Amino acid sequence: MTDYAVVLDLEIDLGGDRKDPSPYNKDNTFVALGYTLRTPHGYFIGSELVTKYFDNEVVILNIEDSNFTEFNTFKRTLSNAKYVVAHNAKFDVAWLREIGIDCNVKIIDTMINEYVLNKGVRDKLSLEALSHKYDSIRKQDVLKNMLNKGMNYSDLPKNLQISYLRDDVLATADIFQKQERLFREDHNYSLLPIRDLMCEFCSVLTDIERSGMAIDMNVLDQVDVDYQKEQEELTRYLQMQTRKLMGDKDVNLSSPEQLSSVVYSCNLTDKKLWKEVMDIGVDDKGKPKRRPYMTQEGFMSAAKECFKKAYKTRVIKCGSCYGKGTYYKLKKDGSNFKKPSKCEGCGGLGVLYLEVDEVAGLGIKPRSELASAGGFKTDKITLTEHLRTTTDPDVKKFLESLIRLSAIDTYRASFIEGIKKGIKSDGLLHANFNQCITSTGRLSSSNPNLQNMPKGRLFPVRKAFVSRFEGGTLVEIDYSQLEFRIAGILATDETVKREVESGFDVHAYTAKVLSDNGEVTDRGAAKASTFRPLYGGTQGTPAQQIYFKEFFGKYQGIFKWHDKLQNEAIATKLVTTATGRQFSFPDCQRNRSGNANFKTQIVNYPVQSVATAEIVPLGVILLFNKLKEKGLKSVVINTVHDSVLIDTHPDEIDIVKDIGPQCLLDAQDEAKKRFGLSDYIPLEVEMSHGSNWMDQEEFNATV
């Protein structure tokens, strides 16, 4: 039989929350699907195969009008296909599997295709955007407008329903054919194995999402109550301390500009000039401007021109309006106007703030690299650096409270509320895993964003994640120092290899270097600095900069490899990883310091992509397939960065313990077969288990 691909598209009616089109939302309904056949490379196929299954170029199956035979024909056509092709295929495949149509053939997703072909350059990936790019069939504006106004597919007249679905199928088929042609050009050929892996992972992620995660709502509610209490206590403390630091005038700590005044004890007086002098903002291409080279004297001069020192304030009643904030203007006859006017003296506040002769704020000295539109940076990373270097206990407590309050705000909004909204009628959380968001191929997730969940086993939200099985266990398997080992492999760094094999404690070493250079740091806190140079990090405290220099002196292989990557990017505007994935840097050039601009991305992307976009997916795929092959009830329910989480049936704990670590380790051999990736340094994994995702005990993961 001639090989062929089924190109398809599904339509659903949305009910309830129109932002949730998933098949796990009971209010949504499958309505119709359209499909056509193409050769495996996207071309039209011979009439013999077409007429065997259908007479028209696109077949439309409607849940109301199509009969049992027509759906059976589609099932048979799909099961015999070499590929199923769709745009954002995870959506279509999830719906097919949920309505009982097996879709076990190889997936090709035109969205993933485009993402890989874009080579790390962000671009629109919607079907409409690609239809414009490839000059394919596009939806009629009248149809788009009707759907955008809240109408469902079923609300459209029958002829428009057919036209709408047919156009989507034909556009997808045309885009698929043109993408296949691009993949087979010599300079893109190395991308095909990457595309194939991502599409294979897409199928596995579909079932991981379908499996869902069990949540103990009582635990989640209690965590929220505890966070709310802590949030209120921190807010009271910060308000009280801010008044002591700044005086009587109210300060909004959520405002970056006002927080900058508190932290650095200076007020920005000329925003426009500051942005011009420090090149703050984006260029014509929408990319951040490069900061100018500036001596310390030049920076101090610019800061003096754009800022004034912040002083504490004392409040007094406005004498013009007697504290009312308004006054009545008089008419010619001496009577008052009906409506009062805002007092010009106090701006309607009723009070005046007088500066007193005492400097306000924490008094932290700003640096040129911290310049921002509102003054100086006050993000979490910057505040954490200040926290690490300050010796004043009051300043330390204030910064700790700021960081903690911001974290709790995020935990409650993103995780607790996100989890509650994401739980479907089956009582399970079905998060959405995104393959085409990050530049490196690393997964992201939404509803909620589990990839941003804090690492470690002290995050209480994790306690709400439990097993669906009575007496079941959550088993987590993590790669040990995955990106460090991958960097050692890619750079063939002998020191990395030696330290990995000897069990050298790299974080303890980092803590010692920082402490010896005046920044007392324990092992846990040092982890934030250990691998920063690996990703191109060069800025930091004096002690950190000394450590960064020592890092490259110690790991000469990585240092030389970073130079090689930069030279490659400058010469070819492209970086090709050891697995064949490509990253485009069209504007790359050498800067005044001798490095490539975009250095951080140039040295980071190859490590992160090989580790978390190739090794981890391979490990998850192997584990998923092994569980399925053995017919186990246990299911993979989550993968976060370099780990995988398995909801384990109580009768299968020993089996999962035996096969889980080996599957993840076998990913290294699989990467060698598929991509020719070196196994210069062996990978290792750690394994733990518990009744929930937080309270975990170590398993021996020796294999």
Whether the predicted pLDDT of 372 surpasses 80: yes
Helix, strand and coil in the chain, % to nearest 5: 50, 15, 35
H or E segment to which residue 306 belongs: helix 296-306
Least confident of 81-85, 282-286, 547-551, 577-581: 282-286
Closest CA to 573 of 605, 603, 616, 602: 602
pLDDT score at 47: 46
The token duo for 198 is 């991502």
The helix/strand count (H/E) of the chain reads as 24, 25
Is the distance from CB of 316 to CB of 352 less than 8 angstroms?
Answer: yes
- What's the pLDDT band for 701 if we cut at 50, 70, 90? low
Residue 461 corresponds to which tokens in the numbers above?
């939200």
Q: What is the pLDDT of residue 49?
A: 46
Amino acid at 74: F
Q: pLDDT at residue 434 above 50?
A: yes
Amino acid at 699: F
| Average pLDDT of every residue of the chain | 91
How many residues are there in the chain? 703
Angle formed at CA 376 by CA 371 and CA 382, multiple of 5 degrees:
100
Q: d(Cα 261, Cα 267) in Å, to the nearest integer?
A: 5
Which string of DSSP letters, residue by residue, matches 368-385? GGGEETTEE--SHHHHHH
**Residue the block writes with tokens 């997916």:** 617
Mean pLDDT of 627-633: 97
pLDDT tens per residue across span 445-492: 988 888 888 876 789 999 999 999 999 999 999 999 999 999 999 999
Give the residue extent of every domain in the chain: 5-212, 223-408, 485-600
How far is 646 from 685, CA to CA, in rounded Å? 15
**What pLDDT is stored for residue 536 in this prediction?**
75
> Is the per-residue pLDDT at 224 higher than 50?
yes
Q: Are 632 and 660 in contact (CB under 8 A)?
A: no
Q: How far is CA 572 from the centre of its chain?
A: 28
Coil, helix or strand for 144?
A: helix
Percent of the chain with pLDDT over 70: 97
Look-up: residue for tokens 């504006």? 141
453 half-sphere exposure, CB direction, 13 A CA radius? 27
Closest Cα to residue 671, out of 507, 489, 412, 444? 489
pLDDT value of position 528: 80
- Model confidence over 234-253: pLDDT tens digits? 999 999 999 999 999 999 99
CB contact at 8 A, 632 and 469: no
pLDDT tier at 522 (50, 70, 90 boundaries)?
Answer: confident
Determine the Cα–Cα distance for residues 224 and 42; give it in Å rounded to an integer. 51
Q: Is the pLDDT of residue 311 over 50?
A: yes
**ω into 682 cis (within 30 of 0):** no
**Identical topology for domains 5-212 and 485-600:** no
Q: Which residues contact 439 (CB under 8 A, 6 or more apart)?
A: 120, 122, 583, 601, 605
Decide which of 3.30.420.10, 1.10.540.10, 3.10.620.30, 3.30.70.260 is the CATH code for 5-212. Answer: 3.30.420.10
Single-letter residue type at 27: D
Considering the domain delimited by 485-600, tell me its CATH architecture: Orthogonal Bundle (1.10)
Match 């009744």 to its residue by tokens. Answer: 691
CA 135/CA 175 separation, integer angstroms: 9
> In the structure encoding, which two tokens stand for residue 524, read together?
């846990």
- Confidence tier at 46 by pLDDT (50, 70, 90): low
Nearest of 261, 252, 540 to residue 374 by alpha carbon = 261
**The whole model's pTM is what?**
0.89
What average pLDDT score do residues 78-94 get?
Answer: 96
Q: Which two tokens stand for residue 201?
A: 């992972």
User: Which residue, chain included where needed, has tokens 């959550």?
Assistant: 474
Q: Which of 460, 433, 428 is nearest to 215 (CA)?
A: 428
The tens digit of pLDDT for each residue in 62-76 reads 988 878 888 999 999
C-alpha closest to that of 677 among 604, 584, 603, 615: 615
DSSP symbols for 247-261:
BSS---TTSHHHHHH
Nearest to 223 by CA among 538, 462, 499, 522: 462
Q: How confident is the model at residue 140 (pLDDT cuts 50, 70, 90)?
A: low
- What's the pLDDT tens digit per position in 379-409? 998 998 898 888 899 999 999 999 999 999 9
Given a cut of 80, whether residue 147 has pLDDT beyond it is no
**What is the arithmetic mean of pLDDT over 644-648?**
98
Q: Of 228-232, 260-264, 386-390, 464-468, which gets the smallest average pLDDT?
A: 386-390
Q: What is the pLDDT of residue 96?
A: 96
The per-residue pLDDT for 55 is 43
Residue 143: the pLDDT is: 62
Q: What is the pLDDT of residue 144?
A: 67
The pLDDT score that the predictor gives to residue 1 is 55
What is the Cα Rg of the chain in Å? 30
Whether the per-residue pLDDT at 350 is higher than 50: the answer is: yes
Amino acid at 72: N
Measured CA to CA, the distance from residue 525 to residue 508 in angstroms comes to 10
Mean local confidence (pLDDT), 32-40: 94
Report helix, strand or coil for 278.
coil
CA distance 245 to 364: 13
- Rounded to whole angstroms, the Cα distance separating 268 from 372 reads 11
Between these two residues, 522 and 200, which has the higher pLDDT value?
Answer: 200
Helix (H) / strand (E) element for 398: namely: helix 393-410
Confidence of residue 532 (pLDDT cuts 50, 70, 90): confident
Q: Note whether 44 and 124 are within 8 A (CB).
A: no
Distance CA 670, CA 389 (A): 45
Per-residue pLDDT at 571 exceeds 70: yes
Average pLDDT over residues 119-137: 93
pLDDT beyond 50 at 352? yes
Predicted pLDDT at 276: 92
User: What is the average per-residue pLDDT within 29-45?
Assistant: 91
pLDDT for residue 145: 74
Q: Please give the C-alpha separations between residue 180 and each of 36, 85, 134, 191, 626, in angstroms, as whole numbers.
A: 17, 12, 12, 11, 31
Q: In sequence order, which residues have a C-beta less than 8 Å from that of residue 555 and are 6 or more positions away? A: 491, 493, 495, 496
